[in-house]
Amino acid sequence: MIAWPTRTLALIAVPLLALGAGACAKKGELVIDSGVGVTALRSSCPTVGVPNYTGDVTLFTAPGRTDAGAIDVVASMTDLRSQCSESTDKIYTAATFEVLGRRTDVRGARQVQLPYFITVVRGGSAVVSKRVGTVTLDFADGQERAQGRGQAAAYVDRAEATLPADIRAKITAKRKAGDESAAVDPLNEPDVRAALARASFELLVGFQMNEQQLTYNATR
């Protein structure tokens, strides 16, 4: 399995669930004047994204070569979109993405199959599941470019993605100016941070690469 830096993910923004706040408050802020706590919490839906260095892949004409003269096919993931359904005890997330490919030698029709991974990660590092899919690029004779589409989906247990009641109460507890608690951001408290991590899931997609390909991406 290829490892990736989980703290440098290019992620789609997480939807926020408003809990009621003053008109001038921003989501996630700690509001004191209106007597409320944090104005918003993240959704139970997993974030969806592509880990760094896995959204592009380069194929070479000969094993061991990584110079520009040996580049065969280059492909990139783009237009990653997702939908999430929270209507049942199993939260379902589906994602689609486009793959844009370009080849160096345009002679003849050619089909290129590119494997990609679909991984669910909990708390930023714990891999819950992993599957591998394939995107097919069909190059016509004389054609330099081709495009394909991939898809990913995953279920997450709602109970595991939901913050415990006591943690939610601590985050949203009303705070008044002058109180000791008003100077403390509950999101920085160790038990709250740990609970947020346990309830946080990510659906990650990227090209399934060998160590040489991943190293090439990280160092080029």
| pLDDT score of 180 | 61
Write down the pLDDT at residue 182. Answer: 57
Phi/psi at 190 (5° precision): -55, -45
> What is the β-pairing status of strands 201-207 and 47-51?
parallel
Residue 136 to residue 147: CA distance in whole angstroms? 8
Residue type, 88: T
pLDDT of residue 25: 41
Please report whether residue 212 resides in a domain. Answer: yes
In the chain (220 residues long), the average pLDDT of successive 10-residue segments reads 38 29 38 42 84 96 91 97 92 97 97 97 93 98 98 94 84 67 68 87 96 92
186-208 per-residue burial string, b: 16 or more CB within 10 A, e: under 16: beeeeebeebbebbbbbbbbbbb
Q: Which residue has the tokens 């494997």?
A: 115
User: What tokens were used for 138?
Assistant: 């069909």
Is the distance from CB of 170 to CB of 81 less than 8 angstroms?
Answer: no
pTM (two decimals)? 0.75
In terms of residue numbers, what domain contains 105? 9-219
3 state SS of 79: strand
Q: What is the pLDDT of residue 42?
A: 62
Predicted local confidence at residue 166, as pLDDT: 84
- The encoded tokens of residue 153 equal 């989906």
Q: Give a yes or no: residue 4 inside a domain.
A: no
Return the pLDDT at 181.
Answer: 57
Residue 2 forms part of a structural domain: no
In a domain, 143, yes or no: yes
- Per DSSP, what are the bridge partners of residue 154? 93
Q: Report the number of distinct structural domains present in the chain.
A: 1
In a domain, 59, yes or no: yes
Any domain includes 141: yes
C-alpha distances in Å from residue 187, one per residue of 15, 111, 191 = 18, 50, 9
Number of H helices, E strands in the chain: 4, 11
What is d(CA 8, CA 80) in angstroms, rounded to the nearest whole number? 17
